[in-house]
Amino acid sequence: MTATMNDAQLTLGPLLFNWPLAAWHDFYARIADEAPVDSVHLGEIVCSKRAPFFADHLPDVIERLTAAGKRVLLSTPILVTTDKERAAVRELLSMDGVAFEANDTGALLHLAGRPHAVGPYVNVYNEGTLAWLAGRGATSVTLPAELPEASIRAIAAAAAPLGVAVEVQVFGRIPLAISARCYHARSHGLYKDGCQFVCGQDADGLPVDTLDGEPFLAVNGLQTLSRRYLSLADRLDGLRSLGVSRFRLSPHAVDMVEVARLFRAVLDGALSGADADARVAERVGEAGITNGFLLDRPGADWVGAAHP
Amino acid sequence: MAHFELICPAGTPAALRAAVDAGADAVYCGFRDATNARNFPGLNFSVREMAEGIAYAHGRGRKLFIAINTYPTAGNPGPWHQAVDQAASLGADAVILADYGLLDYAARRHPRLKLHLSVQASAANADAVTLYRDVFGVRRVVLPRVLTVPDIARLTAETGVETEVFVFGGLCPMAEGRCSLSSYATGQSPNRQGVCSPASHVRYEPRGTTLVSRLGDFTINRFEDGEPAGYPTLCKGRFVARGQASYLFEEPTSLNAIALLPELKAAGVRALKIEGRQRGKAYIAAVVGAYRQALDSFDRTGRAEVPQLAPTLADVIEGRRDTTGAYTRGWR
pLDDT for A34 equals 98
pLDDT band at A172; cut points 50, 70, 90: very high
Among the partner-chain residues A105, A151, A179, the one whose CB lies closest to the CB of B74 is: A151
pLDDT in the model for residue A43: 96
Domain ranges of chain A: 4-172+230-285
The average confidence (pLDDT) of chain A is: 95
Instruction: State the pLDDT confidence band at A5, using cuts at 50, 70 and 90.
Output: very low
Residues of B in contact with A128 (CB under 8 A): 72, 77, 99-102, 104-105
Q: Given this model, what pLDDT does residue B42 score? A: 85
Contact A105 B131 (CB under 8 A): yes
The interface predicted TM-score (ipTM) is 0.96
Select the more confidently predicted residue: A3 or A183. A183
Query: Which of A47, A103, A129, A162 to probe by mutation at the B interface, max B CB count within 10 Å?
Result: A129
Domain A4-172+230-285 of CATH type 3.90.550.10: no
Q: Would you say residue A4 has pLDDT above 60?
A: no
Per residue in A253-280, pLDDT tens? 999 999 999 999 999 999 999 999 999 9
What is the rounded average pLDDT of the residues A139-166?
98
Per-residue pLDDT at A171 exceeds 90: yes
Domains of chain B in start order, with CATH, are 5-171+253-331 (3.20.20.70), 181-246 (no CATH)
pLDDT digits (tens, 9 = 90+) for A68-122: 999 999 999 999 999 999 999 999 999 988 999 999 999 999 999 999 999 999 9
Whether the CA torsion A125, A128, A130, A132 is positive or negative: it is negative
Rounded CA gap, B135 and B130, in Å?
8
Helix (H, G, I), strand (E, B) or coil at B248: coil
B52/B92 Cα distance (integer angstroms): 11
Give per-residue pLDDT as tens, B46-64. 999 999 999 999 999 999 9
Looking at residue B149, its amino acid is V
Of the candidates A66, A136, A69, which has an alpha carbon nearest to the alpha carbon of residue A95?
A: A66
pTM higher than the cut 0.90: yes
> Is residue B255 within 8 Å of B170, Cβ to Cβ?
yes
Buried b (16+ CB within 10 A) or exposed e, B75-89: eebeebbebbebbbe
B165 and B264 Cβ atoms separated by less than 8 Å: yes
Mean pLDDT, residues A224-248: 98
For A28-33, what is the mean pLDDT?
98
Q: How far apart are CA B105 and CA A14, in angstroms?
A: 33
CA dist., res. A203 & res. A180, Å (int): 21
Query: Chain B contacts of A188, Cβ < 8 Å?
Result: 242
Sort A238 into a burial class: Cβ within 10 Å, 0-12 / 13-18 / 19+: middle
> By the 8 A CB rule, do B325 and B257 touch?
yes
Is A301 annotated in some ligand binding site? no
Three-state DSSP class for residue A292 = coil
Asked if B253 and B321 count as a contact pair (C-beta separation under 8 A), the reply is yes
Give chain B's residues under pLDDT 70: 1, 306-321, 329-331
- What is the SS3 assignment for B295? helix
pLDDT tens track for B145-182: 889 999 999 999 999 999 999 999 988 899 999 999 99
What is the pLDDT at residue B318?
Answer: 53
- Look at residue B304 in the predicted model and tell me its pLDDT: 82
